[in-house]
Amino acid sequence: MLNKDYDDHKIINNEGTKKICENCQDECLATLYCEHCVRNYLKENFSNWTSGNNDIDNLIQKYQMEMYDPERIVEWIPYNNLQNIKYLTKVDIPKFIQQFELENVENSNRSWFEESKSHLTISNKWTDVVRCYGLTKNPSSGNYMLVMNNMDMDLRTHLKQNHNKFTWKGRIHIAYDIIDGIDTIHKENAIHRDLHSGVDSTCHVKSSNLVKSRYYILIGCLV
């Protein structure tokens, strides 16, 4: 875990001791992998997929070439590869099933393309915002969609369910996670214009896989 975090820090900040990759003979910063080999593999695979839209293809390819972590690579995800889909809307949050939730970001109030760029930029680098796996397209409606990590619940629901259990340590923990997520967004020269705990899941709750009583508050819906 320490080596992985160390690699992420080195590549994101483009600093640290380099090594010569035995495969490509290029200088790389990562110790557990070679960022150049991963990017070269992704580039060679460009011809094997398409969204059907040049702007979308170029957007995904751009962020693949800026890959910082081989476990957080964004991609084009064919709609028929998704199973048990439940939709996240602005007025209701249904129960999520399996790994994915989909958010339709093409509406009259904002640009789906701009939100896609925000999610791909920040999710590609940082772990304190809700992860975006990539983009897909509903063949029935023609709408492009973000494929997001499935979270346990929104912050408001979490607060209602656990309000009698919160200690001051727990309250500070929630505030810290939210501040950390906002700071991450600001590091990318972006701002969150609609931050609240409401039903559109601006703030999400995710249980830790490592510590039973630990949970994380992640920022989503980035514009």
Q: What pLDDT score was predicted for residue 111?
A: 65
Q: Using one digit for the tens of pLDDT, what is the confidence trace for 33-82?
A: 899 999 999 999 999 999 988 988 999 999 999 888 888 889 999 988 88
State yes or no: pLDDT of 27 exceeds 90: yes
Q: What pLDDT score was predicted for residue 86?
A: 64
Q: Using one digit for the tens of pLDDT, what is the confidence trace for 181-218?
A: 777 777 766 666 555 545 444 455 555 443 344 555 66
Domain ranges within the chain, ordered by starting residue: 2-71, 77-223
Task: Classify domain 77-223 at the CATH superfamily level.
Answer: Transferase(Phosphotransferase) domain 1 (1.10.510.10)
Q: What pLDDT score was predicted for residue 129?
A: 74
Which residues make Cβ contacts (< 8 Å) with residue 97, sequence separation at least 6? 84, 86
| CA distances, 51 to each of 8, 25, 91, 140 (Å) | 29, 33, 28, 15
Dihedral angle of Cα 125, 126, 130, 135, to the nearest 10 degrees:
0
Q: Is 199 exposed, middle or buried (0-12, 13-18, 19+ CB in 10 A)?
A: middle
End-to-end CA distance of the chain: 31
State yes or no: pLDDT of 137 exceeds 70: yes
Q: What pLDDT score was predicted for residue 210?
A: 39
